[in-house]
Structure 1
């Protein structure tokens, strides 16, 4: 698991190069007035987290993927059967 680092917005602005170096090790959370506001990460990490262009079908078809239980509920539209007699 990659380490997550937190920087204040002021520290980020003072040393962007240092923040980029930290992002090579793992995500960097940049705070604004003490609250998380931004995340700096490598492009490779972003692509991995974003699915690297994979479709939902690709993810669901991946045998090493996620164990997803999906049982949609029956929907009633309030319609009645047609009387054809």
Structure 2
């Protein structure tokens, strides 16, 4: 994977070049020297978007039943809510 970096001015002048560069990796577009945007191919976007899992899916992964969760009791008493 190749990462291409373009200034916002270079991106505006060479949008075709930036689009072609996404075939080999992401294109970082900078504003005043700092990364401001990332241009991805549609395939890369779909791949990244597809990696999201719901909380239920994450908690139902195989092997999690073997992990012990130790929660120490809190020493502070809960404070009543202030609705004023």
Question: What TM-score, normalized to structure 1?
Answer: 0.63
Alignment of 1:5-84 (within 5 A): 5-51=4-50, 55-58=54-57, 71=69, 73=71
Cα distance change on mapping 1:51 and 1:61 into 2, 3 Å: farther
- Kindly provide the CA deviation profile for residues 33-60 of structure 1, in whole angstroms up to 9, marking residues without a partner as x: 0000000001110111122675455566
**Equivalent pairs, count:** 73
Which residue in the other structure is 2:82 paired with? none
Query: 48-57 vs 34-43, which deviates more?
Result: 48-57
Root mean square deviation, CA, Å? 2.9
Runs (5+) with no aligned partner, structure 1: 64-68, 80-85
Cα distance change on mapping 1:32 and 1:5 into 2, 3 Å: same
